[in-house]
A and B are shown apart, each in its own frame.
Chain A
């Protein structure tokens, strides 16, 4: 990681554009899920997949923070990253528990969800972050966070899901909360990205991380849809 980037466009703009290049796949998969004739059956499966991702958010940030703190004395990016992650951990605590509460509303018990093995796709989505954190640079995690917090569900999307599934509104508390909270988190994240003395390689690994996250999340949704292909 030798050279600091020229400021031809902001680091956050470049990251946003990289995400925008691939986000259509996730938008499309989500729209297909919402419009699916069996969305009532699909929604708990989507919630399980979402839980597989969300349960890893705080542990991932703890891993990123620990690695950033270990590098902080000799690495300015890590030195700035560690306090951001420390603060964001507090903002994301127990969101996986919220989702388990929502799942109970649709008839899935906590023990059932926690006992079920996550798919290889969910493992690959999250697992890549551990690789980049420990074997390259913890700044990669910002790409993952940007991808997931940058395009939260809209309130209208949640309303469509409520109407389509027929579940009670309290089965959607996690989605509704993220629709409200994530835009603020996204703005904070992009401020941090622009404050870091990033090299071209830091930007690249954030971009790879974000693109990978979007791609794998879309694939995870597609895999749910595939199981109901005969009903579409």
Chain B
């Protein structure tokens, strides 16, 4: 978590999203009204900037993507263990193409 005690707004948003899509009823609703649902899921705990960025990146997820992410959601919640600055971060792995 870098040097911060508090998780970043992006990570809080991610954790809330991961928790929400673990619920099948929420998942089923997601594709039809993703923007509204993201607002509801993220609530007041996340700033408007982070909400907007989150909506831009994940507002278009399809049913199948949400279902797959839900099955893997424990890895999403563990994201903070890697690095909070997600997109800008290079996380080396042992993968090769």
Q: In the complex, which residues 42-83 of chain A have their Cβ closer than 8 Å to any Cβ of chain B?
A: 46, 50, 53-54, 57
Question: Chain A contact residues (Cβ within 8 angstroms of B): what range?
Answer: 35 or more
Interface residues of A (CB under 8 A from B): 5, 8-9, 13-14, 16-18, 20-30, 33-34, 46, 50, 53-54, 57, 92, 95, 144-145, 147-149, 151-154, 156-157, 174-175, 178-179, 182-183, 185, 200-201, 203-204, 207-208, 211-212, 214-215, 217-218, 221
> Is there an interface contact between A157 and B87, defined as CB atoms closer than 8 Å?
no
Shortest Cβ distance from residue B8 to the other chain A in the assembled complex, whole angstroms: 13
Q: Within 8 Å CB of A34, what residues of B?
A: 94
> Is there an interface contact between A215 and B72, defined as CB atoms closer than 8 Å?
yes
> Is there an interface contact between A25 and B75, defined as CB atoms closer than 8 Å?
yes
Q: Within 8 Å CB of B89, what residues of A?
A: 20
Nearest opposing residue in chain A for B17, CB measure:
A21
Report the Cα distance A200→B61, complex, angstroms: 8
Interface residues of B (CB under 8 A from A): 14, 53, 55-62, 64-65, 68-69, 72, 75-76, 78-79, 81-82, 86-87, 89-97
Shortest Cβ distance from residue A110 to the other chain B in the assembled complex, whole angstroms: 18
> Is there an interface contact between A23 and B72, defined as CB atoms closer than 8 Å?
no
> Is there an interface contact between A152 and B92, defined as CB atoms closer than 8 Å?
yes
> Is there an interface contact between A21 and B76, defined as CB atoms closer than 8 Å?
yes
> Is there an interface contact between B65 and A221, defined as CB atoms closer than 8 Å?
no
> Is there an interface contact between B95 and A14, defined as CB atoms closer than 8 Å?
no
Known A57-B97, A148-B96; contact A21-B62, beta-carbon cutoff 8 A: no
Nearest opposing residue in chain A for B53, CB measure:
A9
Known A21-B75, A21-B76, A24-B78; contact A148-B60, beta-carbon cutoff 8 A: no
Known A20-B87, A21-B75, A203-B60; contact A153-B96, beta-carbon cutoff 8 A: yes
Report the Cα distance A30→B75, complex, angstroms: 14
> Is there an interface contact between B82 and A24, defined as CB atoms closer than 8 Å?
yes
Nearest opposing residue in chain B for A46, CB measure:
B94
